[in-house]
Each structure stands twice: as structure tokens, then as C-alpha cells.
Copies of this chain bind each other. A is one copy, B any other.
Amino acid sequence: MPIIKIEMLEGRDRATKQELVKSMTTEMARITGCSEASVYVVINNVAKEDWGIGGELAATKFPD
């Protein structure tokens, strides 16, 4: 029944997201004993100009 919300910088491809979802779900079920079927994962792909670290935009700190 757990919900896992991932916020990360945008740009990951579908295969990476699939691997993330699979891994997080398997680990959650293994560690907490919940069923894998009940786990929801939602990914939020954040643009670099929408993420701040230490007061600076990631767009400035990590230019492409």
C-alpha cells in the first residue's frame, strides 16, 4: 500500500524509470513485507530551472 514519490531532475529515459520503479517496489516489499502489487511509484521530472540547491538554481549550478 505504500506510495513512493520520486522528485529528480528531468531527462531520464523510460528504461531508467522502469528500473527505478522495479527496484524501489521490490525493495519496499522485501523490507516492509507489503505486497508488490500494492506499491505505487510516482516520478516527478523537475526541470533544472525549477530546482534550487544552496540558494541557486540547478540550471545555473549545473549548466548543460
A2-29, CB < 8 A from B: 2-9, 12, 14, 16-28
When distances are taken between beta carbons in the complex, the residues of chain B under 8 Å from A27 are: 20, 23-24, 27
CB atoms of B14 and A40 under 8 A apart? no
In the complex, which range does the number of interface residues on chain A fall in?
A: 35 or more
Distance, CA A58 to CA B6, complexed state (A): 16
Query: How far apart sit A59 and B1, CA to CA, in the bound complex (Å)?
Result: 13
- How far does the Cβ of A31 sit from chain B's closest Cβ, in whole Å? 5
- In the complex, what's the smallest C-beta–C-beta distance from A10 to chain B, in angstroms? 10
Chain B residues with Cβ under 8 A from A4's Cβ? 4-7, 24, 52
A52 & B21 in contact (Cβ 8 Å cutoff)? yes
